[in-house]
Structure 1
Amino acid sequence: MYKIKPKLWSFQFFQVIMITFLFFLCLHMLNVSFPVFVIDISHNPALGGMMTTAFMLAAIFTRPFISIFLHKINMKKTIIMTLIFIFLCILISYNRVSIPFLLFIRGLEGVGFGIITTLLATMATNIIPRERLGEGVGYFGMATSLGASLSPVLALSLFHSHSFNTVLLFTLMIVTGIFVGSLFIRNVHSNKQTKEDHQTNTNVSIFQFIFDKKALLPSILVFLLCVTFGGVFNFIDGLGREAGLGANVSLFFLIFMFVMLFIRPISGRIFDKKGHKMLIYPAGICGVIGLLLLGVTNNLLILLIAAVFYGVAYGTMHPTLQSWAVSQVEPNKKGTANAMILTCMDLGMAVGAPTLGMVAGQFGYKVMYSYTSLFIILLLIIYMVITRQKNSQEESVEKDKGSAINF
């Protein structure tokens, strides 16, 4: 008998998706334009890189701590207050040229980013029906990726045609729009707690609130995946110069974005029906092929084919790993799982950019991208070894149960 699927696209879910898209667009526009502005005024690329590092580190350290309070706070009010905080941070950075001051502001913005992205991810996973978790997280991830993919084009266009202050004004407008939209979302609790649940939560340690071993493997794999994304996101322009492609290299992100928009809903449905095992291996192989193609890019066609393969890999693996992490933990630990995934995502990008940048500086961008494929290979090896160990343990447990029953 055909089973009717529970409804996914509620008005609340649509609001969370739109707010997430606009928020990632806004914050990543700042991530792109701040380093360029600082390099222009200081003539020091290292100082430009510090703007991104300060932002990422602040977000990384914030997420575990916000997960501690997820069971106690009003998510809607916290999002609204944090948006006001971010608005003020952007506003007071207008027309400023002091590097230490801008570095401090970037840290504050990273704190706001860490808080809101964790809350939005938790809201989304609480709204999504469990039977459609993979599909729903795929759409949520599509909103984050679309915002991150459009931000470089929009930010650099405004920066070069007008000024950095114009970028700041535009992001202030986006934050204002997000603020208005957030007034209409309903507060979503981390879970409907019983008295026993509440008693249990009051007796657990802080470490148990910020960490769940069931989400550890997906989080480690996300870290390795996002090391490669840090290289792609930061150095594709350098590859374009090295390969003589010029401004055409921006087409990589356009193809990458369209492939992700296409693949995420499909991979989400496959996850809901078949689980993560049907997705990780083919997606990982596509990632290796995409990065190796970047390593031999000498014309636009190879670059665009690489964008297709890498888009399939990232667009499949990132939401799959997040869905896997959330599905493994207890309902009241969804916020913890999301915080772990997002922290490892930021940590991967924060580690990947400077590490791969040093490789590119020593050997060139093509060699760097070839080496980057090793992170995907390591991801697949870790996934294969640990999942096989778990399968063997489960099989032995089942055999022991069968032996006990027969006895």
Structure 2
Amino acid sequence: MDLHQNKLWTKSFIMLTLSYLLLFLCLQMLLSPFPTYAKEKFHPGDFTVSLVTSLFALAAIVTRFIMIPVMRKVHRNVILITGVVIAGVATALYSFAGSMLVLLLLRIAFGVGFGMASTVMPTLVSQIIPKHRIGEGIGYFGLSTSLAMSIGPMIGLSVLAGYGFPNLTLLGTISVGLIIPLLLVTRSIPPQPLAQSAADKTSSRAAKEPFPKAILLPAGLNILMSVTYGGILGFLALYGQEIHLAQIGLFFLFNAFTVLVIRPISGRLFDSKGPAAVLIPAALIVFASLLLLSFTHSLPLLIVSALLYGLGFGAIQPTTQAWMLRETSPKQHGMVNSLYYNTIDFGVAIGSMLLGVLASATSYSEMYRCSSFVMLLFLCVFIVFRALGSRGIKPANAHLK
């Protein structure tokens, strides 16, 4: 036990991080190409196209809320494997959908499976990361989601253009299907901790534990960040068509590079300096990235925009998650991780719908220009709460400034 309290790079941590990468890779390879495929296949309007993203996200959100009490009664391994199977089956059936309605129902099914799996895995990881290295550990674990978010859409768009949608869904099915043998063969799912078993026996007392209000600020900031990402995921391919830039998918490649660089650095900076040292410069960088993207008409500008977005996005996400985890007790980590990923999905869903409406009324370039100002709102919210002495800015840990 002492080893696990001090060691970060355990077998369980590595395998769970890799499994989370595969889960999110399946999601991200299909998320960005989906609007293009749906529009070409079924010719729906822009709002209906946005439902491909938003209905999945809303289904995942509802599922995660349901999973909080369920995890106290059903073994988490059962929830994890069931969620992976549902996500894999839904992915395999996408290319057989004969109507937009069936496609949307399959997106909801995928959201349910994804919500189950993405609630359990981060909870397992947060329980095996040493408390004093939570920022660093979440930073490395979060590389799985950020890397998938960065390279997944690029892979998806490339496979869709070169090999067609059925082959893309096959690749996604293989990606999520590898999770079960990876975890079971290597026996990397950590055992049910004694603390959790004790909590299960006194669930009525645990249920009365007050909701940690300190996590509301980082959760709200994560929503705002995810609104901008909803615009990137949902409409970047269509924006490329608008500005006649065939290499638009390279945005995700260069975005991935800076995400990989900044993730570990931002985690250690959070552990030593607190959230302000990370979030303020990162928000300004994302603002500059989106503003530059809205004026992009050439590959060099696109690359600079992508590098900046990855730098800011890759710093903000692990910081908000580690901040939320540090503010709560271990038995609340399931709820916290659920809330964290729900804020991402909620932000992406809202961003996809609202920015889609804005793009229909104006243009994609104007839409990205407006979305950049969301990050100014992000900064204002953070600074105002800091000035008011919010508990979220002054946690129990003395060094979290």
Q: Fold conserved (TM > 0.5)? A: yes
Which residues of 2 match residues 3-402 of structure 1 at below 5 A?
6-46=6-46, 47-183=48-184, 184-189=187-192, 192-193=195-196, 195=198, 197-198=199-200, 201-203=203-205, 205=207, 212-244=212-244, 246-390=245-389
Deviation at 1:37, TM superposition (A): 3.3
Deviation at 1:375, TM superposition (A): 1.1
Q: Which whole-Å CA distance do the structure 2 matches of 1:35 and 1:394 have between them?
A: 39
Amino acid at match of 1:226: S
Q: Which whole-Å CA distance do the structure 2 matches of 1:218 and 1:342 have between them?
A: 12
Deviations 1:250-289 (CA, angstroms, capped at 9, x unpaired): 2221111100000000011111111112111111111121
| Structure 2: 5+ residue stretches without partners | 395-401
Question: Do the aligned partners of 1:122 and 1:190 also contact (CA within 8 Å) in 2?
Answer: no
Rate the CA distance shift 1:77–1:250 in 2: closer, same or farther, 3 A.
same
Rate the CA distance shift 1:161–1:132 in 2: closer, same or farther, 3 A.
same
Rate the CA distance shift 1:283–1:203 in 2: closer, same or farther, 3 A.
same
Q: Which whole-Å CA distance do the structure 2 matches of 1:38 and 1:157 have between them?
A: 16
Moved more, 271-280 or 183-192: 183-192
Deviations 1:1-38 (CA, angstroms, capped at 9, x unpaired): xxxx9321111100011000111111222334444333
Rate the CA distance shift 1:189–1:376 in 2: closer, same or farther, 3 A.
farther
Q: Which whole-Å CA distance do the structure 1 matches of 2:102 and 2:373 have between them?
A: 38
Amino acid at match of 1:185: S
**Matched position secondary structure for 2:378:** helix
Question: Do the aligned partners of 2:386 and 2:393 also contact (CA within 8 Å) in 1?
Answer: no
Report runs of 4+ in structure 1 exceeding 4 Å deviation.
197-200, 391-395
Deviation at 1:191, TM superposition (A): 6.7
| Structure 1: 5+ residue stretches without partners | 396-407
Moved more, 231-240 or 338-347: 231-240
Structure with greater Cα Rg: 1
Q: Show the counterpart of 1:402.
A: none
Q: Show the counterpart of 1:401.
A: none
Deviation at 1:308, TM superposition (A): 2.0
Deviation at 1:352, TM superposition (A): 0.6
TM-score, normalised by the number of residues in structure 1: 0.87
Rate the CA distance shift 1:393–1:258 in 2: closer, same or farther, 3 A.
closer
Q: Which whole-Å CA distance do the structure 1 matches of 2:381 and 2:97 have between them?
A: 46
Q: Aligned pairs, how many?
A: 387
Moved more, 114-123 or 167-176: 167-176
Rate the CA distance shift 1:205–1:188 in 2: closer, same or farther, 3 A.
same
Rate the CA distance shift 1:45–1:139 in 2: closer, same or farther, 3 A.
farther
Deviation at 1:350, TM superposition (A): 0.4
Question: Do the aligned partners of 1:276 and 1:324 also contact (CA within 8 Å) in 2?
Answer: yes
Deviation at 1:327, TM superposition (A): 0.6
Question: Do the aligned partners of 2:218 and 2:392 also contact (CA within 8 Å) in 1?
Answer: no
Question: Do the aligned partners of 2:147 and 2:256 also contact (CA within 8 Å) in 1?
Answer: yes
> Among the aligned pairs, what percent are the same residue?
33
Q: Which whole-Å CA distance do the structure 2 matches of 1:258 and 1:194 have between them?
A: 41
**Matched position secondary structure for 1:297:** coil
Q: Which whole-Å CA distance do the structure 2 matches of 1:393 and 1:283 have between them?
A: 18
Question: Do the aligned partners of 1:224 and 1:376 also contact (CA within 8 Å) in 2?
Answer: yes
Q: Which whole-Å CA distance do the structure 1 matches of 2:333 and 2:327 have between them?
A: 9
**Matched position secondary structure for 1:186:** coil
Q: Which whole-Å CA distance do the structure 2 matches of 1:339 and 1:174 have between them?
A: 23
Amino acid at match of 1:337: V
Q: Which whole-Å CA distance do the structure 2 matches of 1:119 and 1:157 have between them?
A: 31
Deviation at 1:392, TM superposition (A): 9.7
Deviation at 1:190, TM superposition (A): 6.8
Rate the CA distance shift 1:67–1:53 in 2: closer, same or farther, 3 A.
same
Q: Which whole-Å CA distance do the structure 1 matches of 2:191 and 2:214 have between them?
A: 23
Q: Show the counterpart of 2:397.
A: none
Q: Which whole-Å CA distance do the structure 2 matches of 1:104 and 1:284 have between them?
A: 36
Rate the CA distance shift 1:361–1:330 in 2: closer, same or farther, 3 A.
same
Q: Which whole-Å CA distance do the structure 2 matches of 1:162 and 1:393 have between them?
A: 48
Question: Do the aligned partners of 2:54 and 2:348 also contact (CA within 8 Å) in 1?
Answer: no
**Matched position secondary structure for 2:305:** helix
Question: Do the aligned partners of 1:239 and 1:365 also contact (CA within 8 Å) in 2?
Answer: yes
Q: Which whole-Å CA distance do the structure 1 matches of 2:355 and 2:122 have between them?
A: 29
Deviation at 1:148, TM superposition (A): 2.2
Question: Do the aligned partners of 2:90 and 2:110 also contact (CA within 8 Å) in 1?
Answer: yes
Moved more, 166-175 or 249-258: 166-175
Amino acid at match of 1:28: Q
Moved more, 84-93 or 19-28: 84-93
TM-score, normalised by the number of residues in structure 2: 0.89
Moved more, 152-161 or 120-129: 152-161
